[in-house]
Amino acid sequence: MRFIAKFFILGRIVCLFIGLGSITCSVVIAASIQPPGVIIDHVPATSGRYVGSPSIVTGTNGYYLASHDFFGPKSNEHQQAVTAVFCSRDRGVSWQRIAIIDGQFWSSLFVNSGVVYLLGTDRHHGNVIIRRSADGGKTWTTPLDNSTGLLRDDGEYHCAPTPVIEFRGRLWRGMERRKPAVGWGSNYCAGVLSAPISADLLAATNWTFSNFLPSDRSWNKGDMRGWLEGNVVITPAGQIFDVLRVDTLKYPEKAALVSVSRDGEILSFDPATGFVNLPGGAKKFTIRYDPLSRSYWTLANVVPPESETPARPATIRNLLALTTSKDLTNWTQRAVCLSHSDPVKHGFQYVDWQFEGDDIIAACRTASDDQDGGAHTYHDANFLTFHRVKDFRNLSDRSK
């Protein structure tokens, strides 16, 4: 077994530091059954439940909150999904589970006006719901109706923990809807929801839902199996995009830049110009804009050109890289952050992250070895892990 981790503070693991030139210092993990990073949660594959949908946020009192849901044959994800919430009061060194929520799935943590929220669905392809916590994530409201957090009750919604961002006095978040209600990916229609920052976010009437835009299998020269897990991104010029993962069979990997009207009601897409090359674009990614570097950043499952295989790009998740762009169109890899030589039962995926000063803090859905025989597959993760990318802007500067 061989792990490579770059630029991360790793917890509870004995490491050997090896200099690798002027750009980076690598950490080679000695033979161990622990994954890289700080373990937030461990769910053995033998349980029939797997770790999904990592999300992370910094609370107003300086603590961190992280969450994940459970999927798999014994998870009840299709009836009433379950999400666990964890807290760290020592900047990610240690974590404690503080809540279990019945009926929450595919959800993003975010903070608005000092209050913590969870926004997602109630189950696999379920209704759109939002919950609020007034005590730092320990207890949560229950979305019973359209005044208490049930935002849409007509089902078939899909999402992942992508950013909830502020722009022009509103909160914005990507969401998809499956139509018709069969299959995965190809029938997903891209959409965006938004609400005034000052509004009661539990009231459905305060939320605006855009149209839900279908994709077309003929796009991208016929290599288009669907789009999903959209990130709302604002350009410096004030243009709103929903940047979506694209499921392709070939390389290079793509993302789709879908235009959003300023009122949040209309999505539109030009297939001739809307696809961009994004390393890792066939897997879930989180994009955030950093005004200090005037750049967009993401942590994504990159497949190096020399390693491209006949396998679907979406199935290769054993390398996590920090990448950046000035324009959402031209992306540059700055650093390999986590890597394992085996793509079958190892993965560092669905990473959610936040800026924290000069660092990036991240929560990762990790498939790795453990005392119970390891992960079921690269996809069916058995850990939620915490990582810190230190001084990320200087990593970029030194690699120019």
Tell me the whole-structure pTM to 2 decimals.
Answer: 0.92
| pLDDT higher than threshold 50 for residue 309 | yes
* DSSP sequence for 160-221: -S---EEETTEEEEEEEEESSSSSSSTTEEEEEEEEETTS-TT-GGG-EE---EE--TTTGG
Task: Please write the tens of the pLDDT for every residue from 25-45.
Answer: 233 333 468 899 999 999 999
Q: For residue 286, what pLDDT is reported?
A: 98
Task: Please write the tens of the pLDDT for every residue from 201-214.
Answer: 999 999 999 999 99
Q: Which band of pLDDT confidence, cut at 50, 70 and 90, is reported for residue 145?
A: very high
Element (H, E) at 157: strand 150-158
Question: Looking at the domain 40-398, which fold is it?
Answer: Neuraminidase (2.120.10)
Nearest-5° angle of CA 198, CA 203, CA 207? Answer: 70
Domain residue spans of the chain: 40-398
Q: Mean pLDDT over all residues of the chain? A: 91
Show the 3-state SS of 89-156: CCCCCCCEEEEEEECCEEEEEEEECCEEEEEEECCCCEEEEEEEECCCCCCCCCCCCCCCCEEEEEEE
Determine whether 305 is exposed, middle or buried from the number of CB atoms within 10 Å of its CB (0-12, 13-18, 19+): exposed
Q: Which band of pLDDT confidence, cut at 50, 70 and 90, is reported for residue 305?
A: confident
Q: For residue 88, what pLDDT is reported?
A: 98
Tell me the residue ranges of DSSP E strands in 208-341: 208-209, 213-214, 227-234, 240-246, 254-260, 267-268, 275-277, 287-290, 295-300, 319-325, 331-340
Q: For residue 7, what pLDDT is reported?
A: 43
